[in-house]
Structure 1
Amino acid sequence: MSIKPPFTELEIVKAPSGFYEGYSLPIALVSKAIMVALVVWALVWPGNASSVLSAVNGSLLNGFNSFYIVSVGLFAFFLFVLALLPATGSKLLGTPGTVPEFSNFSWFSMMFGAGLGVGLMVFATAEPLGLWGSNPVVISGDVAPNSAEAVQSAYRYTFLHYGFHAWAIYVLTGLSLAYYAYTREMPLTIRSALTPLLGKAANGFVGHLVDVLGVVATILGVSVTIGFGVSQFVDGVYAVSGAEWLMNGDADAPKPSTVGLIAALLVIMSLSILSAVSGVGRGIKYLSNLNLVLSVILLLTFVFFGSFLFAMTKFAAGLADYILHFVQMSFGAYGPQSADAFAAAIPEAAKALPAEDVAAIYGSATSPWGSLPGFTEGLPASAANLDAEAIYAAGEQGRQFGWQAGWTTFYWAWWIAFSPFVGLFLARISKGRTVREFIFGCVIAPAIVCFLWMTILGGTAIDLELNGDAAGSLIGATNTAKLFATLEQMISGGFLSAITVMCVVLIMTFLVTSADSGILVMNTIMSGGEQETGIKHRIIWGLILTAVIGALIIAGNSGAEANPFGALQNAMIIGALPFTIVMVFMMISLVKALYRDSIRAKHN
């Protein structure tokens, strides 16, 4: 049986001279036009931008929540099957004899720093604490929020959001790109991963569109990461310096001010552009190694001064619970619950209430951020004698959908938007690895580190609240301030000051690593897969990235409910949806490529 050779004649037309020499004009110009339009819209009409993005995001989640959930579940199972099959797992990402460019230590350092560094700093304490008070087990009424019984389910969903699924998203993109770039010697760009399906069409409009979607998703994914990281950076600088101008002036609940966020953003992005100019061989490699060393120091601080034994028991229980519920969490998607469906499910006595009271009860019963006691207290007078528990139970589907859309789907969209950047970066540093080594090394190893990080840091915060030492101060702190609030409960004096300063440096280096990696990846896509790109274009895209983040922070603070990251998050989820579709086709393409390449190998 003969089989024709694969399509590898990918021809990305590049400008032969001038400012855009070596770059694809359609990709560069369209990507810039979209980003400039977004910046102008957010700066000139910030309130309109915030409200429109919020409305569009809400509509998309109503229609595509299940698509996000099921797609990510498929990505995880698909990769594990590839790794376990002998024929696919042993394939080398490169030509025969290719050896890895980086040592295992540097390889892990770079994947860890680029993939989840900022997220781990911001959410190491915030994620477990938040899920301790609100997760599907809590909102179903099985356990009370912020109780000892709620800790296990809190870690079940913490591990879900930062575990195998999260890294599977990155690795699917990275493996697809690495396979075609190093096995078939094609350009290291997004459209290469779809050539088994697109064929020659990848050289035209469709190919340009795929790469533009990759650039847009990268910008928005990196923007959200940097936005959260900059906020935590401001919290850290404030903890060290006490500079009031960095905060919003609220003594009871201080939050980074818009001025403080923009000032910190300018500092971080200036350093990021300088690092991006130095290239992956120097800037990112050295910063990644520094990140890993400082991360170990911070982790050891929590091991020796935090609640290590408590955390380790929660690690073991949480990991077992995560694995037992792995299939259900992978594919258990919820749809929205309409007002009519809720009205049909409530007890007969409640159906006789005035329409405005039923509408108010519907909003409260389907809110994922409430609780049964709060719902009962907020019932209108006309419903005071009704069965509050039965009415509340009627809204469970709405609560589960709202929670899933607000937590899990937000994370899946974030990781998907981040995946062109992290995936392409993982591909760049993984030449010479086998498929099995790439999947297990980039899915299981960093996920286990994330689990340990979340349980040691987050477990200490939960234990401080459970035993009464924190007295609600950690739950009440903002997400980006929870790490520093936890440190203040653990240690004091000069040691606290030194660790806080180290955390500020660590946040800064994580931010710089993420931003300069993103800048390099965007330039790689626009240059048709070239790994060495022009310095002036790195600087320009660094400035565009800065403008996008700054403009959307301003727009977020101009909305009806001021949230500096609201517009950023909404734009990111919207931008991630088209790339989710691209990733589904990447998976299908990789199946076809691996199958047909195995037939070619058998027939020489």
Structure 2
Amino acid sequence: MSIKPPFTELEINTQDSGFYEGYSLPIALISKISMVLLVLWALVFPVGAGEMLSYVNGTLLKSFNVFYIIAVGVFAFFLFVVALIPSTGRRTLGVAGQKPEFSNFSWFSMMFGAGLGVGLMTFATAEPLGLWGSNPLVVSGAVAGNSEDALQSAYRYTFLHYGFHAWAIYVVTGLSLAYYAYTRDMPLTIRSALTPLIGRFANGFFGHIIDVLGVVATILGVSVTIGFGVSQLVDGVYSITGAGWMMDTTGETPVATKTGLIVALVLIMGMSIVSAVSGVGRGVKYLSNLNLVLSLILLLTFIIFGSFIFAMTTYATSFVDYILNFVQMSFGAYSPMSLEEFTAAAPASVQALGAEDLASVYSSATGPWGSLGGFTEGLPAAAAALSEADIAAAYEAGNEGRQFGWQAGWTTFYWAWWIAFSPFVGLFLARISKGRSVREFVLGAVIAPSLVCFAWMTILGGTAIDLSLTDEAAKASIVGASNSAKLFVTLEQMLSGGFLQAIIIMCVVLIMTFLVTSADSGILVMNTIMSGGAEETGVFHRIIWGVILTLVIGTLLLAGGGGLSALQNAMIIGALPFTIIMVGMVLSLTKALYNDARRDN
């Protein structure tokens, strides 16, 4: 039986003249209007906007936590299968015999800078330390937080959040876009990846909405990354200059002031716009190469002055543990635990409590961050009078709820962040991967960067944990610091004098270049989507989107009393519809690869 040729007649009408020449007017206008309305809402009603985003986010997590977890598990296994099958793995993303545009070093540098960049600077120490104090084993009561027993489970979930699953999210989008763009000569835009499923519907309004969702997810994903990075940049500059206007030191943990955040944001985005105007081949490429060189210098500093033997031992044991638990972490999803479910699982003495006391016990037992000791201390008088065995049984009865709360607050947050980032990074990966095979793309963009992330997390984060295990004063300083300051506090425990200042200055430069790389790449990608897949776009429009991105980040940083929570909530909300699109990408690519193999035969 003959197989029909694939649908490739994708038509994205662009303007022939005027201000939007070369751009799809519906995509550009819907995207801009959506972002302008978000900015105005956050400006006019900052507190209400923050509260509304928090409410919607909480509601979505309760309903879609399982969907997020299962979907990402499917993405990872799908890519491994595609790479291992000979007929699909050897396919070239381009015409036969085509050579890659960039060297392996530049390809990896740009991929690494765009895919993670400043996230590693912020979370290389913050992630392992945070999970050392709170992970599913700690939440269940199996091990004590911030103890030597919690080390293995801390790195099990650190590797989960920055490993194969995380990079698989990027590569699902990137591989889908590259496959249609370079093997079928279709536009490099989001809707192309769904054409095997939706066919000619991609040419109409439905196709415009798909691309708009890609733009919105990109803006929100990049916004959160830059928000974290700007906060860490302020911490770094403060540690060098001691400028009081940049940090609020009145609380237990110093935090960046609103003024410091906005000044740093304007500086970074100004540099990003200049870099975006210069394009991929110059600004983005050179900055990415600089990023990788400075990253290696920082890594070498920790290898020489940090706890390298401890880190490598941790790497080896944690990697084995990660692989052994890979399937369970891929598909082990939790749902919210209702009061009725908790009551049924609790001992009879707890069931006999009054409604108000029972609700209090339920709330404490299902709280994702509570230990048994904290749970016991916070019990109402009637519940505190129960036997130790009944109190322990009540805590155990709430384990399912605690696991859900932890998973939603950690793993699902990360999956939403990576998914929101995936239109940007995926399209960018596709843009720089022409001429590479499917297997090379999967191995080079899933396995290789994951192994580097693991090394980064164990060397930097392992040093911070080792210092905390061996020195109580160091532990108090490092664990008590804000996430954005943990790297600098760890360096202060390792180094001193002029060398310390030099390394902190280098870290500040590295954070700046990572931020600029992320932002300018995002600007270029947004313009590519709105121009129907064109790789070269108008300079003026890059500037406009740089300004819009600055306004979105700035207003959400100020919403709800300030901070990163509004940015994070908006990102998780924006990631959900794109997760559905990504599931469609997997189905579409499966169909395309299968039918193309049949056509070849």
Aligned-partner residue type, residue 151 of structure 1: L
Aligned to 2:585: 586
- After the TM superposition, which parts of structure 1 deviate over 3 Å for at least 4 consecutive aligned residues? none
Pair 1:428 & 2:441 matched: no
Partners of 2:249 and 2:500 in 1: CA distance: 24
Cα displacement (A) at 1:253: 1.9
Aligned to 2:575: 576
Cα displacement (A) at 1:471: 3.5
Pair 1:457 & 2:460 matched: yes
Aligned to 1:417: 420
1:477-507 deviations in whole A, cap 9, x for unaligned? 0000000000000000000000000000000
Partners of 1:369 and 1:258 in 2: CA distance: 28
Q: 1:473 aligns with which of 474, 477, 480?
A: 477
- For the residue of structure 2 that corresponds to 1:336, the secondary structure is coil
Q: 1:530 aligns with which of 520, 526, 534?
A: 534
Aligned to 1:134: 134
- For the residue of structure 2 that corresponds to 1:142, the secondary structure is coil
Aligned-partner residue type, residue 380 of structure 1: P
Matching of residues 235-314 of structure 1 within 5 Å: 235-250=235-250, 252-314=252-314
Retained in 1: the 8 A contact 2:65–2:334? yes
Aligned to 1:598: 597
Partners of 2:226 and 2:142 in 1: CA distance: 36
Partners of 1:432 and 1:305 in 2: CA distance: 41
Matching of residues 351-500 of structure 1 within 5 Å: 351-386=351-386, 387-468=390-471, 469-500=473-504
Cα displacement (A) at 1:385: 3.0
Aligned-partner residue type, residue 344 of structure 1: A
Aligned to 1:53: 53
Aligned to 1:566: 565
Aligned to 2:559: 555
Partners of 1:252 and 1:217 in 2: CA distance: 34
Partners of 2:501 and 2:198 in 1: CA distance: 56
Aligned-partner residue type, residue 579 of structure 1: F
Pair 1:172 & 2:175 matched: no
Partners of 1:574 and 1:478 in 2: CA distance: 25
Partners of 2:450 and 2:280 in 1: CA distance: 24
Retained in 1: the 8 A contact 2:361–2:383? no
Aligned to 1:41: 41
Cα displacement (A) at 1:363: 1.1
Aligned-partner residue type, residue 586 of structure 1: M
Aligned to 1:331: 331
Cα displacement (A) at 1:64: 0.2
Aligned-partner residue type, residue 571 of structure 1: A
Aligned-partner residue type, residue 392 of structure 2: E
Partners of 1:218 and 1:253 in 2: CA distance: 31
Partners of 1:37 and 1:329 in 2: CA distance: 38
Partners of 2:540 and 2:315 in 1: CA distance: 47
1:141-169 deviations in whole A, cap 9, x for unaligned? 11011000000000000000000000000
1:338-378 deviations in whole A, cap 9, x for unaligned? 11211221110111212111111111111111101111111
Aligned to 1:508: 512
Partners of 2:544 and 2:467 in 1: CA distance: 46
Partners of 1:48 and 1:137 in 2: CA distance: 36
Retained in 1: the 8 A contact 2:35–2:548? yes
Aligned to 1:101: 101
Partners of 2:129 and 2:567 in 1: CA distance: 23
Partners of 1:288 and 1:311 in 2: CA distance: 26
Partners of 1:494 and 1:252 in 2: CA distance: 28
Partners of 2:394 and 2:469 in 1: CA distance: 31
Deviates more, 1:347-356 or 1:426-435: 347-356
Retained in 1: the 8 A contact 2:528–2:537? yes
Partners of 2:39 and 2:532 in 1: CA distance: 26
- For the residue of structure 1 that corresponds to 2:484, the secondary structure is helix
Cα displacement (A) at 1:249: 3.5
Partners of 1:501 and 1:414 in 2: CA distance: 28
Partners of 2:525 and 2:177 in 1: CA distance: 12
Partners of 2:493 and 2:136 in 1: CA distance: 29
TM-score, reference length from structure 2: 0.99
Partners of 1:117 and 1:566 in 2: CA distance: 21
- For the residue of structure 2 that corresponds to 1:333, the secondary structure is coil
Retained in 1: the 8 A contact 2:84–2:439? yes
Cα displacement (A) at 1:248: 1.5
- For the residue of structure 1 that corresponds to 2:282, the secondary structure is helix
Partners of 2:225 and 2:595 in 1: CA distance: 38
Cα displacement (A) at 1:600: 1.1
Partners of 2:49 and 2:74 in 1: CA distance: 34
Change (3 A) 1:50 1:416: same
1:175-227 deviations in whole A, cap 9, x for unaligned? 00000000001000000000111111100011001000000000000000000
Aligned-partner residue type, residue 517 of structure 1: S
Partners of 1:483 and 1:459 in 2: CA distance: 12
5+ long unaligned stretches in structure 2: none
Aligned to 2:525: 521
Percent identity (aligned): 74
Change (3 A) 1:142 1:249: closer
Cα displacement (A) at 1:228: 0.2
- For the residue of structure 2 that corresponds to 1:479, the secondary structure is coil
Partners of 1:460 and 1:431 in 2: CA distance: 39
Deviates more, 1:344-353 or 1:40-49: 344-353
5+ long unaligned stretches in structure 1: none
Partners of 1:375 and 1:252 in 2: CA distance: 23
Cα displacement (A) at 1:252: 4.1
RMSD, matched Cα: 0.8
Deviates more, 1:225-234 or 1:252-261: 252-261
Partners of 1:310 and 1:97 in 2: CA distance: 46
Aligned-partner residue type, residue 500 of structure 1: I
Partners of 1:389 and 1:162 in 2: CA distance: 34
TM-score, reference length from structure 1: 0.98
